[in-house]
């Protein structure tokens, strides 16, 4: 993987986790915060640190913000500083800005002022946990965006026959990407492959279409 350059702004728990993990994964990470103790705490765990007020556009330009592949604005509770920093980062030439929002209203404002991606860690993690509890076999570590999922569907009597006859793509809008028969796995199965009760299908689709298929399979 190409070594990327990241700028992480705001070194609370979230920003620190993002910055140190990117560094551990072999990337170049500059981490900044306006508080000296936060900068000191992380200095041996990233490439460079700096004490900067990130709402200051000229200060961001001075650290070469336009040279970073991704800028992460990890300021949460101080909504004003979060928004001003995002505006300053975009105005100073940041290419791709990912922001943390504490609520939906802040997310909308951040998108309006130019954030390329907004995450809501508490909300997003809550949604993922709930889905995982209900569907333990969904592969939610593969991020397809919030509207899509890859799940395992256990074939019941209602899901038996060749993939051609089952016609799951047209009926439910899902794509079968693997078929498991006991310990055997068939990747990208063919239309003639037959599904029997107790086989497992690995399918990808929108949450809605996947739910429809799961409900259909379970409603014996």
Contacts of 199 (CB under 8 A, 6+ apart): 154, 155, 179, 180, 181
Among 6, 7, 8, 14, binds ligand ATP (CB under 6 A): 14
Q: Does 77 bind ligand ATP (CB under 6 A)?
A: yes
Q: How far is the CB of 96 from ligand ATP (least distance, A)?
A: 19
- Tell me whether residue 31 or residue 204 sits nearer to ligand ATP (CB atom): 31
Q: How far is the CB of 117 from ligand ATP (least distance, A)?
A: 16
Rounded Cα distance between 204 and 212, Å, is 12
91 burial via Cβ count (<10 Å: 0-12, 13-18, 19+): middle
Among 33, 68, 83, 151, binds ligand ATP (CB under 6 A): 33
**Hey, what are 207's tokens?**
């949450």
- For ligand ATP, the nearest residue by Cβ is 76
CA-closest candidate to residue 75, choices 129, 7, 28, 143: 7
Taking CA atoms, 48 is separated from 8, 31, 40, 70, 115, in Å, by 11, 6, 11, 15, 24
Among 60, 72, 75, 94, binds ligand ATP (CB under 6 A): 75
- Tell me whether residue 32 or residue 159 sits nearer to ligand ATP (CB atom): 32
Q: Does 123 bind ligand ATP (CB under 6 A)?
A: no
Q: How far is the CB of 199 from ligand ATP (least distance, A)?
A: 44
Q: Does 20 bind ligand ATP (CB under 6 A)?
A: no
Stretch touching ligand ATP by CB under 6 A, among 73-81, 141-149, 183-191, 196-204: 73-81
Q: How far is the CB of 57 from ligand ATP (least distance, A)?
A: 12
Q: How far is the CB of 177 from ligand ATP (least distance, A)?
A: 36
**Hey, what are 113's tokens?**
């002022």
Mind spelling out the 3-state secondary structure of 152-213? EEECCCCCCEEHHHHCHHHHHCCEEEEEEECCEEEECCCCCCEECCCCEEEEEEEHHHHHHH
Q: Does 199 bind ligand ATP (CB under 6 A)?
A: no
Separation of first and last alpha carbons in the chain:
46
The contact set with ligand ATP (CB under 6 A) reads: 9-15, 33-35, 38, 53-55, 75-78, 81, 85, 100
């Amino acid at each position: 993987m190409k070594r990327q350059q990241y700028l992480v702004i705001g070194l609370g728990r979230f920003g620190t986790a993002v910055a140190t993990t990117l560094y551990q994964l072999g990337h170049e990470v500059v981490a900044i915060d306006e508080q000296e103790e936060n900068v000191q705490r992380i200095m041996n765990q990233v490439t460079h640190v700096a004490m900067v007020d990130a709402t200051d556009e000229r200060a961001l330009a001075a650290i070469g913000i336009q040279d970073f592949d991704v800028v992460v604005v990890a300021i949460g509770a101080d909504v004003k500083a979060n928004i001003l920093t995002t505006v300053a980062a975009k105005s100073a030439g940041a290419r791709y800005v990912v922001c943390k929002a504490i609520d939906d209203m802040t997310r909308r404002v951040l998108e309006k002022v130019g954030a390329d991606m907004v995450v809501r860690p508490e909300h997003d993690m809550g949604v993922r946990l709930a889905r995982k509890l209900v569907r333990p076999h969904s592969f939610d570590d593969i991020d397809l965006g919030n509207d899509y999922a890859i799940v395992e569907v256990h074939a019941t009597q209602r899901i038996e026959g060749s993939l051609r006859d089952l016609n799951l793509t047209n009926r439910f809008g899902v794509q079968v990407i693997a078929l498991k028969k006991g310990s055997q796995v068939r990747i990208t199965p063919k239309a003639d492959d037959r599904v029997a009760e107790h086989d497992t299908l690995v399918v990808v689709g929108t949450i809605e279409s996947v739910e429809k298929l799961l409900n259909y399979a379970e409603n014996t």
